[in-house]
């Protein structure tokens, strides 16, 4: 064999040098480290998967709870207002005054605030609200009853009629029959005072209500003639002055029984009818058994325009009666 044929070609760079060596086997420590890295990576993947799954489950539970809550709210929404009252207010007024939100939750209602809305009218003296599950709001009302009317003007608004209850509360009034309101006398001699959005109670109305109630219950024929009740002398003199269709001025005393005074008034009217030429101008019932009266002869005179027609003054307690037997009658035990 030729010598030149066996000689290797000289290397030009280090890359041309043959580097064939066997790969060194990995040690046990290296394998453990690699396994630990792989386990760690797998754990991270599992944790992330668990987090994603948990988030999905939580979202599902929240959505489910929200649906159940919405369903529960829908099931407990106020669908009816059950009204019980001792007066004239109706269901429509109650619903309008409460002004409940649409689909209002029965449990979320502020019963104290709703009660205040009902009492603000003045016509309601007491209100009780109850939750009647699942969907009913119970409303029980006690109403004031009007005993008189009064005219009021607020600012530049036209005067309008208001109602006055026994406790002096002044209110607009709703639901009353016009026929009932027309029978109520008007109040005079009072000054309404503003209080908040309404008026302060009228002093002395309980006494006035007692007089009107006695007349209505015991002498309705007299009560129907009452047109105006004046409180101008109530505080100072303890007197209530009533104007009627038959007598321009009737004076009642708060120091005497109203029934007795009405009985005396009834006798005076009976005697007056016996003398059609004489008309009563005033009757004073504030002096006990002595009942001074004033006559207006012009009212029933054939010559009503006669200037000579005179007015008989109030009869003094020691003067003879203008009516036959009147003194005897009014001294009876009435």
Domains of the chain listed by start with CATH number: 80-143 (3.10.20.310), 146-330 (3.40.50.11690)
Q: Which two tokens stand for residue 263?
A: 């009985």
Torsion sign, CA atoms 233, 239, 240, 245: negative
pLDDT at 25: 58
Is the peptide bond between 134 and the residue preceding it cis, with omega within 30 degrees of 0?
yes
d(CA 224, CA 226): 6
* Residue 111 β-bridge partners: none
Please tell me the number of Cα atoms within 13 Å of 113 on its side-chain side.
5
* Residue 159 β-bridge partners: none
Report the helix count and the strand count for the chain, using DSSP H and E: 10, 15
3 state DSSP class of 92:
helix
* CB-CB neighbours of 248 under 10 Å: 19
- If we measure between CA atoms, which residue out of 144, 143, 141 comes closest to residue 82? 141
The answer to whether 173 and 194 are in contact (CB under 8 A) is no
DSSP states of 7-72: SPPPPSSGGGS----PPPPPPHHHHHHHHHHHHHHHHHHHHHHHHHHHHHHHHHHHHHHHHHHHHH
* CB-CB neighbours of 183 under 10 Å: 13
d(CA 70, CA 44): 38
| pLDDT tens-digit profile, the chain (334 residues) | 455 555 556 656 656 666 555 555 567 777 777 777 777 777 788 878 888 877 877 876 665 566 455 544 446 799 999 999 999 999 999 999 999 999 899 999 999 999 999 999 999 999 999 999 999 999 999 999 999 999 988 778 888 999 999 999 999 999 999 999 999 999 999 999 988 888 999 999 999 999 999 999 999 999 999 999 999 999 999 999 999 999 999 999 999 999 999 999 999 999 888 888 888 999 999 998 889 999 886 654 444 444 333 333 333 333 334 444 444 444 444 4
Query: Which secondary-structure segment (H or E) carries 180?
Result: helix 178-182
Q: Global pTM?
A: 0.70
pLDDT at 52: 82
d(CA 99, CA 117): 9
């Amino acid at each position: 064999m030729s010598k030149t044929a066996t000689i290797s070609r000289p290397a030009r760079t280090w890359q041309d040098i043959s580097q064939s060596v066997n790969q060194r086997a990995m040690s046990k420590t290296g394998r453990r480290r690699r396994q630990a890295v792989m386990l760690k990576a797998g754990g991270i993947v599992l944790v992330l998967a668990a987090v994603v799954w948990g988030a999905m489950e939580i979202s599902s539970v929240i959505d489910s709870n929200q649906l159940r809550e919405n369903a529960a709210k829908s099931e407990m929404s106020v669908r009816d207002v059950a009204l019980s009252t001792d007066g004239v207010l109706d269901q429509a007024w109650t619903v309008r005054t409460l002004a409940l939100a649409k689909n209002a939750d029965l449990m979320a209602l502020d019963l104290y605030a709703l009660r205040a809305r009902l009492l603000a009218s003045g016509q309601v003296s007491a209100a009780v609200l109850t939750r009647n599950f699942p969907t009913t709001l119970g409303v029980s009302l006690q109403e004031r009853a009007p005993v008189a009317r009064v005219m009021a003007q607020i600012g530049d608004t036209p005067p309008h009629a208001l109602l006055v209850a026994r406790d002096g509360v002044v209110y607009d009034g709703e639901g009353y029959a016009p026929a009932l309101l027309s029978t109520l006398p008007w109040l005079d001699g009072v000054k309404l005072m503003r209080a908040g959005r309404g008026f302060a109670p009228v002093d002395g109305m309980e006494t006035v209500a007692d007089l009107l109630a006695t007349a209505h219950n015991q002498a309705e024929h007299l009560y129907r003639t009452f047109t105006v009740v004046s409180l101008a002398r109530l505080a100072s003199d303890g007197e209530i002055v009533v104007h009627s269709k038959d007598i321009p001025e009737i004076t009642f005393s708060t120091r005497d029984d109203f029934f007795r005074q009405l009985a005396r008034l009834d006798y005076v009217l009976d005697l007056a009818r016996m003398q059609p030429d004489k008309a009563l101008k005033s009757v004073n019932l504030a002096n006990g058994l002595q009942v001074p009266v004033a006559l207006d002869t012009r009212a029933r005179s054939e010559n009503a325009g006669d200037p000579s027609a005179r007015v008989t003054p109030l009869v003094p307690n020691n003067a003879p009666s203008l009516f036959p037997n009147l003194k005897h009658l009014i001294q009876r035990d009435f």
